[in-house]
Amino acid sequence: MLNGDMEVSKPIGGNMKKSKYYVCPLCGNVLVSTGDAGIVCCGRKLEPLQAKKAAEDEKLTIEMVEDDWFITSDHPMTKDNYISFIAFATGDQIHIYKQYPEWNLQTRIQKRRHGTLLWYSTTQGFFYQLI
């Protein structure tokens, strides 16, 4: 609407693993859409993040603790370089875990059969690994 065009998005097949993630470069706001969308934050049109498959040395550490996956990383969590969020996507759900600078990256995710673990580093970009 802001551009003057009213484009109708095509329906997607309902797989949450295909959702699109956006991060505002000004305020750090995290937004998710399940299909094509025109996302605007702080007066700027945002483009969806393109996830890169994490190399072995970039992957988050996953350990079993009780019935959960315990996710950690040695990524620096400084004000200028930190992981902003972690998301776990399955076919029908997305769980987003916000992270903050100067806090250790530690979170627990309820174990499921499989899914995609995604995270956004403020300096290195958007990554994924399959669980």
pLDDT tens digits, 62-78? 999 999 999 999 999 99
For residue 32, is it within any domain? yes
For residue 6, is it within any domain? no
pLDDT digits (tens, 9 = 90+) for 11-23: 555 678 789 999 9
Rg (CA), the chain: 16
For residue 111, is it within any domain? yes
For residue 33, is it within any domain? yes
The tally of domains found in the chain comes to 1
Judge whether residue 6 has pLDDT over 60: no
Predicted TM-score (pTM) of the model is: 0.85
For residue 2, is it within any domain? no
DSSP type of residue 66: T
Residue 52 sits in which domain range?
A: 16-130
- 85 pLDDT band, cuts 50/70/90, is very high
Q: Give the separation between CA 24 and CA 112, rounded to whole angstroms.
A: 30
CATH number of the domain bearing residue 93: 2.60.40.730
For residue 24, is it within any domain? yes
For residue 74, is it within any domain? yes
